[in-house]
Amino acid sequence: MRPGRVIVCEALTVAWYIYLLACTEIALDLYSIVTALDRTLIVLAALAVAWATWKRLRWAPKAAVVVAALVGLPTFTTTVGRLEPILITPGLAPAALFAAYPIVLLAQLVAFIEGLGQLRTPDAAA
């Protein structure tokens, strides 16, 4: 696993989800509480993967695969579906916000592929 590439991918994920946490209005309803907890979990998990990759810990590839699955791997349909708001939004600033999410999904795809390449048969099942 190339540590630099995975760390950059996880740093992009952390930055995006911290931004989403900052924009989240936490009310006392179940949906907003679960949304905030989900985003917090993703930030903590991505930080843990980046740290484990930097330290070259044995469980780092498996953690990269799990975090990528938690965040969501992009498909062609979801990536192209995210392009419509970018193209119809007037102005550059709102379009940049919409453009960041597909970039984060593609970064998780890179981390997923890097992690899968390093998994060994005993590690995959454990």
Higher per-residue confidence, 57 vs 86: 57
pLDDT in tens, 40-55: 999 999 999 999 999 9
Tell me which amino acid residue 60 is. Answer: A
CA separation, residue 108 to residues 14, 99, 103 (Å): 11, 15, 9
Give 123's pLDDT tier (boundaries 50, 70, 90): low
Total Cβ atoms within 10 A of residue 75: 11
Considering the chain, what is the average pLDDT of its residues? 83
Counted domains in the chain: 1
pLDDT for 58: 87
Q: Residue 12 belongs to what domain range?
A: 3-125
Q: CA–CA separation, 86 vs 35, rounded Å?
A: 24
